[in-house]
Amino acid sequence: MKLPRDVGARQLIKALTRFGYTVTRQTGSHIRLTCTEPSPHSVTVPDHAPLKIGTLHAILADVAAHQRIDKSALLEKLFS
Protein backbone atom coordinates (compact mmCIF):
# COMPACT_ATOMS: atom_id res chain seq x y z
CA MET A 1 0.00 0.00 0.00
CA LYS A 2 1.24 3.46 -0.88
CA LEU A 3 1.73 6.05 1.88
CA PRO A 4 -1.26 8.40 2.11
CA ARG A 5 -0.33 12.00 1.30
CA ASP A 6 -2.87 13.87 3.42
CA VAL A 7 -2.46 12.38 6.91
CA GLY A 8 -2.44 14.88 9.74
CA ALA A 9 -0.96 14.32 13.19
CA ARG A 10 -4.34 13.98 14.90
CA GLN A 11 -5.48 11.36 12.38
CA LEU A 12 -2.24 9.39 12.84
CA ILE A 13 -2.50 9.57 16.64
CA LYS A 14 -6.08 8.29 16.52
CA ALA A 15 -5.00 5.43 14.26
CA LEU A 16 -2.06 4.49 16.50
CA THR A 17 -4.38 4.11 19.50
CA ARG A 18 -5.50 0.83 17.87
CA PHE A 19 -2.02 -0.51 18.64
CA GLY A 20 -2.09 0.57 22.28
CA TYR A 21 -0.34 3.92 21.92
CA THR A 22 -1.52 6.69 24.23
CA VAL A 23 -0.55 10.35 24.42
CA THR A 24 1.81 10.79 27.35
CA ARG A 25 2.89 14.40 26.91
CA GLN A 26 3.15 17.34 24.56
CA THR A 27 5.97 19.85 24.33
CA GLY A 28 5.21 22.67 21.94
CA SER A 29 4.09 21.14 18.67
CA HIS A 30 5.48 17.66 19.35
CA ILE A 31 3.28 14.94 20.84
CA ARG A 32 4.82 11.90 22.55
CA LEU A 33 2.97 8.60 22.30
CA THR A 34 3.87 5.57 24.37
CA CYS A 35 2.81 1.93 24.36
CA THR A 36 3.76 -0.86 26.75
CA GLU A 37 3.05 -3.95 24.65
CA PRO A 38 5.00 -6.02 23.67
CA SER A 39 7.65 -3.83 25.35
CA PRO A 40 7.82 -0.12 26.24
CA HIS A 41 8.12 2.07 23.15
CA SER A 42 7.75 5.79 22.49
CA VAL A 43 7.32 7.73 19.29
CA THR A 44 7.14 11.49 18.74
CA VAL A 45 4.66 12.96 16.26
CA PRO A 46 4.85 16.61 15.18
CA ASP A 47 1.44 18.30 15.40
CA HIS A 48 1.26 19.25 11.72
CA ALA A 49 -1.39 18.78 9.09
CA PRO A 50 -0.48 17.18 6.77
CA LEU A 51 2.66 15.39 7.93
CA LYS A 52 5.58 15.37 5.52
CA ILE A 53 5.98 12.06 3.71
CA GLY A 54 9.46 11.39 5.11
CA THR A 55 8.27 12.06 8.66
CA LEU A 56 5.26 9.78 8.24
CA HIS A 57 7.47 7.07 6.72
CA ALA A 58 9.93 7.24 9.64
CA ILE A 59 7.18 7.08 12.27
CA LEU A 60 5.44 4.14 10.59
CA ALA A 61 8.73 2.27 10.04
CA ASP A 62 9.56 2.69 13.74
CA VAL A 63 6.12 1.47 14.85
CA ALA A 64 6.19 -1.47 12.40
CA ALA A 65 9.62 -2.56 13.66
CA HIS A 66 8.45 -2.40 17.26
CA GLN A 67 5.23 -4.30 16.55
CA ARG A 68 7.19 -6.81 14.44
CA ILE A 69 4.95 -6.52 11.40
CA ASP A 70 5.56 -5.45 7.83
CA LYS A 71 5.08 -1.75 7.11
CA SER A 72 2.53 -2.47 4.39
CA ALA A 73 0.50 -4.58 6.84
CA LEU A 74 0.64 -1.73 9.33
CA LEU A 75 -0.61 0.71 6.68
CA GLU A 76 -3.53 -1.60 5.89
CA LYS A 77 -4.53 -1.80 9.56
CA LEU A 78 -4.16 1.93 10.19
CA PHE A 79 -5.71 3.48 7.09
CA SER A 80 -8.24 1.05 5.63
pLDDT bin (cut points 50, 70, 90) of residue 2 is confident
pLDDT at residue 80, rounded to an integer: 79
Q: Which whole number is the average pLDDT over 35-54?
A: 93
Which tens digits make up the pLDDT trace of 6-27?
999 999 999 999 889 999 999 9
pLDDT at residue 38, rounded to an integer: 83
Q: Are 43 and 65 in contact (CB under 8 A)?
A: no
pLDDT at residue 45, rounded to an integer: 97
- The domain spans of the chain are 9-71
According to the 3-state scheme, what is the secondary structure of the chain? CCCCCCCCHHHHHHHHHHHCCEEEEEECCEEEEEECCCCCEEEEEECCCCCCHHHHHHHHHHHHHHHCCCHHHHHHHHHC
- CATH number given to 9-71: 3.30.920
Type of residue at 78: L
pLDDT at residue 11, rounded to an integer: 94
